[in-house]
Amino acid sequence: MSQKKLIILVAILVVSMIISGLLIYSLWLKAKILQIEKTIPKPQIVRPEDFGAGKIGEITEEKNLSLPPAVFNTTGIINEIKKDGLIVQGSGSNFADQVPRTLTLIFTEATTVFEPGQKVFYQGLEGLKYLKPGMEILIDGDENIRGKTEFKTKTINIL
């Protein structure tokens, strides 16, 4: 075999090894990138229903972003005192559409009613005796009250 043919053969062999090496490296790199993409968490859209919200007053997703998925308080004016709760004209702040609605507040033994300034308080159904129609109150729910018109009440603050 002549020297010229040997040099050409070695050159072809070297070029083919370089091409093979580059091909293997690019496939390895692609696999590594795919592996990294799998481990990066994708952002998720938080929906109100994931937090136990009700469906009343919900609106389209674009406008829905101003109200958090979990709402635990609102305000209102007492319309009626029941034996185990209140009927209140709510401000609408616990609804995505912000429309005022009538709320039914259920009292439990754990419900606390606070006088203005929170120095005096009443526990359970006893607190109903100190409330009157027309009073403005701050309401804290015992659960996520977003989109709900009836819920258990944790605390009532007379404003």
Structural domain contains residue 126: yes
Mean pLDDT of 24-47: 78
pLDDT tens sequence across 116-154: 988 999 999 999 999 999 999 999 998 999 999 999 999
Q: What is the pLDDT of residues 95-108, one digit of tens each?
A: 988 899 999 999 99
Q: Report pLDDT for 27.
A: 87
Decide if 6 is inside a domain: no
The number of domains in the chain is 1
Supply the CATH number for residue 132's domain.
2.40.50.140
Mean pLDDT of the chain: 88
* pLDDT over 70 percentage in the chain: 94
Contact 139, 74 (CB under 8 A): yes
Q: Which residue has the tokens 């998925």?
A: 69
Q: How sure is the predictor about 92, in pLDDT bands with cuts at 50, 70 and 90?
A: very high
On whether residue 147 sits in a domain, the answer given is yes
Residue range(s) defining the domain that contains residue 76: 48-158
Distance CA 109, CA 114 (A): 14
pTM for the whole structure: 0.67
Strand partners, 86: 81, 105
91 in any annotated domain: yes
Amino acid, single-letter form, for residue 31? A
Are the beta carbons of 89 and 79 closer than 8 angstroms?
yes
Over the stretch 7-19, which tens digit does the pLDDT of each residue have?
888 889 888 899 9
What per-residue confidence (pLDDT) applies to 2? 83
Contacts of 4 (CB under 8 A, 6+ apart): none
Nearest to 131 by CA among 93, 96, 79: 79
Residue that the structure tokens 């729910």 belong to: 141
